[in-house]
């Protein structure tokens, strides 16, 4: 089924985020099988939300997949442990897997798709989608990208690399893969300082079930978290005051 045609009537079961006060604001957690975009400027706490989300799953005995655009997975583990998330033991036991998104590999999407299909992960994080949307993966002749076929999604179209249609194809492709019946995904997206858009690619916000906006008010030395959208959920639109401490994100 295409991501745009998703009809999901099962809204009862909720996936807790690992941040209890956030769960309270969204009827107990993220809708099962949903994709939620965590958008914000650099340093706004997007990655830390992902840490909470992974830790919660691991505490519940769930298998978790962390797709990262940061090659230095060791650094991620170190940064996480400094905030009190001790992921190494779960990597060792096989419950948590990190995959570096290597754009030099033309089969990157196939690898991710197979991992999600066969890995038994109930939680997937993509941190972040921004390089995915901006990096040409399928350059065929130095200028154009040819988008390979996926199940039920066949095209032989050539699209100029780096163009808006190419960006959209990448975002749609990765969203299709994350739109798996067995997992619930968090996707982070970098937005430039002062932008009114909810993602740099300006398309991912339309393809997801939920949007959490992370904000910095530097002049007031404050941080805010706003739920902008959440499928089948009545929620407040009011920005919530948060802080980041040694234990991660805390609501004030
Ligand atoms: N131990 C800590 N105590 C307080 N704040 C921290 C700590 N560790 C990180 N931070 C804050 O979190 C920010 C990084 O959050 P992160 O989730 O990585 O941001 P991004 O939105 O770029 O992913 C840092 O810039 C810093 O402000
Ligand atoms: Mg980050």
CA 247 vs CA 36, 86, 232: distances in Å: 23, 12, 30
Q: Is 44 in the pocket of ligand 1 (CB under 6 A)?
A: yes
Among 9-18, 86-95, 98-107, 125-134, the minimum mean pLDDT is found in 9-18
Which atom of ligand 1 is least distant from the CA of 188? Answer: 23
Q: Is 42 in the pocket of ligand 1 (CB under 6 A)?
A: yes
Residue with more model confidence, 177 or 3? 177
How remote is the CA of residue 83 from the centroid of ligand 1, in Å? 9
pLDDT at 149: 54
Q: Is the pLDDT of residue 106 over 90?
A: no
Q: Is 128 in the pocket of ligand 1 (CB under 6 A)?
A: no
Write the pLDDT tens digit of every residue in 183-239: 999 999 999 888 888 988 889 999 999 999 999 999 999 999 999 999 999 999 999
Residue with more model confidence, 157 or 118? 118
**CB distance 231 to 209 below 8 Å:** yes
Architecture of domain 3-134+177-251: 3-Layer(aba) Sandwich (3.40)
Which atom of ligand 1 is least distant from the CA of 83? Answer: 1
Q: Is 245 in the pocket of ligand 1 (CB under 6 A)?
A: yes
Among 15-24, 58-67, 164-173, 241-250, the minimum mean pLDDT is found in 164-173
pLDDT at 9: 46
Sheet bearing 248-251, strands edge to edge: 96-100, 64-68, 123-127, 184-190, 35-40, 210-217, 222-230, 240-245, 248-251
Mean pLDDT of the chain: 88
Q: Is 83 in the pocket of ligand 1 (CB under 6 A)?
A: yes
Which atom of ligand 1 is least distant from the CA of 42? Answer: 22
pLDDT at 138: 62
Helices (H) and strands (E) in the chain, counts: 8, 13
Q: Is 247 in the pocket of ligand 1 (CB under 6 A)?
A: no
Question: For residue 60, what are the contacts with CB-CB under 8 A and spacing of at least 6?
Answer: none
What percent of the chain is modeled with pLDDT above 90? 67
In the chain, domain spans: 3-134+177-251
Write the pLDDT tens digit of every residue in 152-185: 555 566 777 778 888 888 898 899 999 988 999 9
């Amino acid at each position: 089924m295409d991501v745009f045609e998703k009809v999901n009537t099962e809204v009862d079961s909720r996936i807790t985020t690992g941040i209890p006060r956030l769960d309270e604001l969204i009827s107990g957690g993220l809708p099962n099988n949903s994709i939620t975009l965590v958008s914000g400027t650099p340093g706004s706490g997007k990655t830390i939300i992902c840490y909470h989300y992974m830790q919660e799953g691991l505490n519940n005995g769930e298998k978790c997949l962390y797709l990262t655009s940061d090659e230095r997975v060791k650094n991620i583990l170190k940064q996480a442990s400094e905030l009190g998330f001790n992921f190494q033991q779960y990597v060792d036991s096989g419950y948590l897997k990190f995959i570096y998104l290597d754009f030099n590999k033309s089969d990157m999407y196939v690898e991710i798709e197979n991992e999600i299909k066969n890995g038994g992960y109930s939680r997937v994080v993509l941190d972040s989608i921004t390089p995915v949307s901006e990096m040409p993966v399928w350059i065929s002749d130095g200028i154009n990208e040819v988008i390979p076929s996926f199940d039920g999604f066949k095209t032989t179209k050539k699209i100029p690399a780096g163009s808006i249609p190419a960006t959209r194809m990448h975002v749609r492709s990765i969203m299709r893969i994350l739109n798996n019946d067995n997992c619930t995904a968090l996707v982070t997206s970098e937005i430039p300082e002062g932008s009114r858009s909810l993602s740099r690619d300006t398309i991912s916000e339309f393809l997801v079930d939920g949007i959490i906006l992370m904000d910095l008010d530097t002049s007031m030395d404050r941080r805010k978290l706003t739920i902008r959208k959440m499928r089948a959920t009545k929620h407040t639109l009011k920005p919530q005051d948060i802080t980041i401490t040694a234990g991660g994100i805390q609501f004030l």
